[in-house]
Structure 1
Amino acid sequence: MKKIGVIGLGNMGKGMAFSLKRGGYDVLGFDAVEVTRATISQEGLACAGSIAELAEAVDMVVLSLPTSDIVEKVVLGEDGLLRHGKKGLVIVDTTTADPNSTRRIAAELKSAGIDFVDGPVSGGPKGAATATMGMVLGGDKEVIDRIEPVLSVMSGKRVHVGPVGAGHVAKLLNNLVTGTHLLISGEAARIATAAGLDPQQIFEGLSAGSAGSKVIDNFFPTWIFNGAFNSGFTMKLMRKDLRLAMNLIRETEAPTPLAKEAGRLWAKSIEGIEDPEDFNRIVQYIEK
């Protein structure tokens, strides 16, 4: 595979596209926003004028899109990848998406000889730009092995977690755990303050103990304690992911009282923290 298409040239997609280009691949981008395409072209990345044009030219497509509905339109729409992609094409969806939608898309593509891998990512825009992000992969092992050289150029760590759809389940669980951890960590910081202590010092102690985690070790010093709140990931996106996680809980009927409460608080927080705000702002949310 020499020619790679990237659809969705936002913070994540742009970083992945340029990482692939630096890795020696011939990269063709597309974004629904014409101004974005023009800007990316000026920065040195070739852009197609349509999804159909891109699909006909590439061996593999990486999707970096906001929602499952948009993924379905891009893949299954009249001018989409299913209609215009050639047999043998591999599509890797890095979107945090609905596993049920993922499985439906994969089934339709399979009949056309096109393979679909769900590969949601972690690491934010910086991870995409530096090719250090992590990927959880759902799909056929043979297909994933075949595209491993491409994936290794755009990511730092990859874990195959099961069949198609498993990657998106893993990502939803990742964000559910992260969202829950942010809530309890925010409460821990408030408890420390109320006890007359410096929460930053207390968190250094937590980091040295069993409570240490990416939230405690990285999120708080990088984006929270310093008031930066500029991770590049919004409340809107995290709320969307938590809604999908709540759907998964309902479908599986797993007993999850704590997870359900976290989902409720994230949804309720719209009353105090608007969608465009950084997702780390949840640590400031206090239910009225």
Structure 2
Amino acid sequence: MAKIGYIGLGNMGMPMAHNLLKAGYDVYGLNRSKQKEERFKQMGGNVGFSLPELVKQVDVVMTCLPLPEDVEEVILGEDGVLTHIMANQLVIDFSTVSPSLHEKIEMEAEKKRVYYVDAPVSGGTTGAEAGTLSIMVGGKAEAFEKAKPYFDVVGKNITHCGSIGMGTKVKLINNYMVGLHTIAVSEGLHLAEKAGLDRKLVYDVLTNGFAQSKIFDRHYREFIAKDIDTPGFALNLLLKDLHLADDLAKEVKATLPIATPMIEMFEKANENHYGEKDMSSLYHYVNN
């Protein structure tokens, strides 16, 4: 079995790396917070390595990081993955960043004869734990085939979307629509309460009609009904993705009239201390 280096043991990365361990892979974990590394060690993972040490010991490097600058530094930095990796190895990035950054990384990877794919995921922490994530992959066909066995462990709906960056473009459209649906849920339930309706009654009725959506189901059942602050997907990370989707729209000259007011609403929620909470907490901002 291949040795895997997994960089980024956060809310998504930890369960994904754990599933690779359970599948029999030898997984080396690296995380900024060493408490996360200790938790991964208790699961059976290998920890305690610097980035160069980790890269030199594994056959495949996977990254799952929150911000574009994190991905750029870890993979392209002076002491990053591509500085230490050997030819014919594979790098998979599960983060959500910009398509242009993936193009830049692939260009550098090709100079070292390294396979590279962008593979952003959807399905939240529940999907990460269950190994049922949707994975949208961009990259050359040969790189996708090399990565496919690992995708089969952590995901269920795996799609090769085309050349490098195409997986990320699909993911950004996905999260743009997630943002719209989140506003619809938040404002709909706010209107219901102001109109004197019980929000559970409204959820039960609407979820059996055309207003039903996976986001409505997720937000209401997993967070709003339970009033849980622990994020499955933090509001500030969705905001980051909305900015990336807006950047993509400007780059390709697509007209998105709702983008600006939507982003402004999430910006205001972030400024009002909802950023670290789950994205469904937009409901609490709207209903405040």
What's the TM-score once normalised by structure 2's chain length?
0.93
Match of 1:193 in 2: 193
Match of 2:216 in 1: 216
Indicate if the aligned counterparts of 2:187 and 2:286 stay in contact, CA closer than 8 A.
no
Match of 1:80 in 2: 80
Give 3-state SS (helix, strand or coil) of 2:52's partner. Answer: helix
Distance of 1:189 and 1:274 partners within structure 2: 18
Indicate if the aligned counterparts of 2:269 and 2:275 stay in contact, CA closer than 8 A.
no
Distance of 2:21 and 2:171 partners within structure 1: 26
Give 3-state SS (helix, strand or coil) of 1:113's partner. Answer: coil
Indicate if the aligned counterparts of 1:224 and 1:280 stay in contact, CA closer than 8 A.
yes
Match of 2:15 in 1: 15
Displacement of 1:45 in angstroms is 0.7
Displacement of 1:138 in angstroms is 0.9
Indicate if the aligned counterparts of 2:231 and 2:276 stay in contact, CA closer than 8 A.
no
Match of 1:51 in 2: 51
Displacement of 1:73 in angstroms is 1.1
Displacement of 1:37 in angstroms is 2.5
Count residues in correspondence: 288
In the alignment, residue 81 of structure 1 is paired with which amino acid? V
Q: CA deviation digits over 1:33-87, x for unaligned, max 9?
A: 3343234223321125111111112121110111111111111122211111111
Match of 1:112 in 2: 112
Which stretch of structure 1 is more off in the superposition, 264-273 or 234-243? 264-273
Distance of 1:229 and 1:42 partners within structure 2: 26
Superposed, which structure 2 residues align to 1:87-106 within 5 Å? 87-106=87-106
Distance of 1:274 and 1:193 partners within structure 2: 21
What's the TM-score once normalised by structure 1's chain length?
0.93
2:250 maps to 1:250? yes
Change (3 A) 1:274 1:267: same
- Identical-residue share of aligned pairs (%): 34
Give 3-state SS (helix, strand or coil) of 1:285's partner. Answer: helix
Give 3-state SS (helix, strand or coil) of 2:274's partner. Answer: coil
Q: CA deviation digits over 1:146-188, x for unaligned, max 9?
A: 2211110111221222211111111121111111111122111
Q: Over aligned residues, Cα RMSD in angstroms? A: 1.9
Match of 1:202 in 2: 202
Distance of 2:100 and 2:16 partners within structure 1: 25
In the alignment, residue 84 of structure 1 is paired with which amino acid? H
Change (3 A) 1:205 1:274: closer
Give 3-state SS (helix, strand or coil) of 1:256's partner. Answer: coil
Change (3 A) 1:48 1:109: farther
Change (3 A) 1:36 1:193: closer
In the alignment, residue 185 of structure 2 is paired with which amino acid? S
Indicate if the aligned counterparts of 2:119 and 2:168 stay in contact, CA closer than 8 A.
yes
Give 3-state SS (helix, strand or coil) of 1:11's partner. Answer: coil
Stretches of structure 1 lacking an aligned partner (at least 5 in a row): none
Displacement of 1:195 in angstroms is 2.7
Give 3-state SS (helix, strand or coil) of 2:207's partner. Answer: helix
In the alignment, residue 258 of structure 1 is paired with which amino acid? I
Displacement of 1:287 in angstroms is 9.8
Change (3 A) 1:216 1:37: closer
Displacement of 1:129 in angstroms is 2.3
Q: CA deviation digits over 1:4-42, x for unaligned, max 9?
A: 110111221111111001111111111233343234223
Displacement of 1:143 in angstroms is 1.6
Change (3 A) 1:153 1:271: closer
Displacement of 1:145 in angstroms is 1.8
Give 3-state SS (helix, strand or coil) of 2:15's partner. Answer: helix
Distance of 2:207 and 2:26 partners within structure 1: 43
Distance of 1:142 and 1:37 partners within structure 2: 32
Which stretch of structure 1 is more off in the superposition, 128-137 or 269-278? 269-278
Match of 1:30 in 2: 30
Indicate if the aligned counterparts of 1:273 and 1:285 stay in contact, CA closer than 8 A.
no
Which stretch of structure 1 is more off in the superposition, 154-163 or 30-39? 30-39
Q: CA deviation digits over 1:78-128, x for unaligned, max 9?
A: 221111111111111111111111111111111111111111112222322
Give 3-state SS (helix, strand or coil) of 1:156's partner. Answer: strand
Match of 1:234 in 2: 234
Distance of 1:173 and 1:283 partners within structure 2: 22
Displacement of 1:203 in angstroms is 2.2
